[in-house]
Structure 1
Amino acid sequence: MATSRPIFAPLSRLAASSIAVARYTTPQSALLPLQSIRCAATKSSGKKKKKGRNTFIQYDLRKADQFSLVDAMHYIRAFEVGRNPHSSKYEVHVRLRSLKNGPVVRNRLRLPHPVKTDVRICVICPPDSKHATEARAAGATLVGEDEIFNQVKEGIVEFDRCICHPDSLQNLNKAGLGRILGPKGLMPSTKMGTVVPNVGAAVRNMVGGSEYREKLGVIRMAIGQLAFTPEEMQTNVKAFMETLKKDIAQMSDRITKEIHEVVLSSTNSPGFTLNGEFRGPDSISPKELSGPM
């Protein structure tokens, strides 16, 4: 029994070494074809990326329900039953066909029937000048320089519009109010037409005035109060659309903007696409929309 150990020991070591070699060499040779196939697959996938749209998505109006102005007001007033007629407003939404990266349309106008008459206007001008007297007579809420600058620096901004006389523009820039009034859209600038020599006339135009600006191919603006009659609404809508068409016509010929859809809604109602007519054949009498809700 003592002589059998040296005979079987070399055989066991030889078998173990051959198994180890087999385990080491077999996976290495099998993985090489898989790696080459996988690399070839990644190189051969040449799908082209889709280019992003440079225009806004437009809906086919032939598939949409369109309403006359009287019908749209009739349905909107049904959604506003029980609410204060002066708290909710009619809103008009104009969808434009235009490029995404093109210039936007923006302007300010005074509607024939003002929607908001409680606008607080701030006029920055020398407090003891004749311009300050004209601004106060026109209905400005705040008039002056240093007093207004100190209030704004303290975080007190109690006005909705701000205009500046050219004589006070340098003092305004030195006060450094751009970081406070700029994000709120209240910083006067020559480009925006809020730095004017005749502050009295500017204040009178702002009282009851409305501003609009294109955003993502849509222009939204309050067009009337719920207590307005259909005739008053028609006058306001016509005035707004005429001003908007003039703004589009004054743009460069290389810039194409077209009116695609006009939608009327309110604070608490959905939108109704207008067909351009005042009253349809089956519409109710406009007098029924003139009284209280």
Structure 2
Amino acid sequence: MAKLGKRTRAAREAVSGKSDVSVEEAVSVIKQNATANFDETVEIAVNLGVDPRHADQMVRGVVGLPNGTGKDVRVAVFARGQKAEEAQEAGADIVGAEDLMETIQGGEINFERCIATPDMMPVVGRLGKILGPRNLMPNPKVGTVTMDVAQAVKDAKAGQVQFKAEKAGVVHAGVGKASFDESKLAENVRAFIAAVNKAKPAGAKGTYVKKISLTSTMGPGVSVDVGNAASEQ
């Protein structure tokens, strides 16, 4: 077994015995142990009692974090004419149509959010096998297929987060930076959990939220009390 570094041992000792704590305590522990020489991302993982392979148990949605993510999100928009101009004015990083499709087909994916006007979906549809696995495919359910491209771009830039359950029924996302105030991080965490609860599918049976954990990019994980996370403070 590889020998653990001093910083890793200290971080693990700090969270030893810390399980099923409140959101606020979890955030405090995560911040104290985010000691890398860069501003670590605080990440949340929510284990759900669903099987995403069944359409009626798929969990997906979008949430505007009240304090943003602390990350500069690059946005690509599929649009033509006036809508393309509106996207550019709103701050989109990449705007195009068939030319953008060809760029993506060539392996260049230099963005974290993809938005499209409805009329562009026949073009975007050709990229399903490329964008789908990366959770970048525009979808009207999360507001990324829309005529109001300007607002969609602004929302993405302001800290809107998309989420989707993976095969094992786990939803995860970045909910801020370790440099954020504890209260702002906790507010973001609770907003994300509330959105996941709101997205509960009709086919979900038994316990919906099974486990919630927080971690930072380089730090250990801390499990959060599910009941506390769902309550308002």
TM-score normalized by structure 1?
Answer: 0.61
Q: In the aligned structure 2, how far is the partner of 1:155 from the partner of 1:82?
A: 32
- Measured on the aligned residues, the alpha-carbon RMSD in Å equals 2.8
The aligned residue for residue 152 of structure 2 is 202
Name the amino acid aligned to 2:65: L
The aligned residue for residue 274 of structure 1 is 224
Greater RCO between the two (CA within 8 Å, min separation 6)?
2
> For each residue in 1:16-48, what CA deviation from the matched residue of structure 2 results, as whole angstroms up to 9, or x when unmatched?
xxxxxxxxxxxxxxxxxxxxxxxxxxxxxxxxx
Q: 1:261 aligns with which of 201, 204, 211?
A: 211
- Change over 3 Å in CA distance of 1:97–1:144 after alignment to 2: closer
Q: In the aligned structure 2, how far is the partner of 1:201 from the partner of 1:272?
A: 36
Structure having the higher Rg: 1
Q: Which segments of structure 1 move beyond 6 Å, counting only runs of 4 or more?
A: none
Q: 1:76 aligns with which of 7, 30, 33?
A: 30
> For each residue in 1:232-270, what CA deviation from the matched residue of structure 2 results, as whole angstroms up to 9, or x when unmatched?
01211221122122111xx32674452233222211222
- Change over 3 Å in CA distance of 1:162–1:100 after alignment to 2: closer
Contact kept in structure 2, 1:91 and 1:221, CA below 8 Å: yes
Contact kept in structure 1, 2:90 and 2:154, CA below 8 Å: yes
The aligned residue for residue 5 of structure 2 is none
Name the amino acid aligned to 2:221: G
- Change over 3 Å in CA distance of 1:260–1:83 after alignment to 2: same
> For each residue in 1:153-190, what CA deviation from the matched residue of structure 2 results, as whole angstroms up to 9, or x when unmatched?
332222222121123334445xx434433443333355
Q: In the aligned structure 1, how far is the partner of 2:162 from the partner of 2:196?
A: 11
Name the amino acid aligned to 2:145: V
The aligned residue for residue 22 of structure 1 is none
Matched, 1:125 2:104: no
Matched, 1:236 2:199: no
Matched, 1:222 2:174: yes
Name the amino acid aligned to 2:199: D
The aligned residue for residue 212 of structure 1 is 163
The aligned residue for residue 113 of structure 2 is 161
Which consecutive unaligned segments of at least 5 residues does structure 1 have? Answer: 1-62, 278-293
> For each residue in 1:53-110, what CA deviation from the matched residue of structure 2 results, as whole angstroms up to 9, or x when unmatched?
xxxxxxxxxx9833234433343234322422x2x11122222234575423111211
Contact kept in structure 1, 2:48 and 2:169, CA below 8 Å: yes
Which consecutive unaligned segments of at least 5 residues does structure 2 have? Answer: 1-16
Q: In the aligned structure 1, how far is the partner of 2:183 from the partner of 2:206?
A: 32
Matched, 1:89 2:41: yes
Name the amino acid aligned to 1:130: Q
Q: In the aligned structure 1, how far is the partner of 2:144 from the partner of 2:98?
A: 19
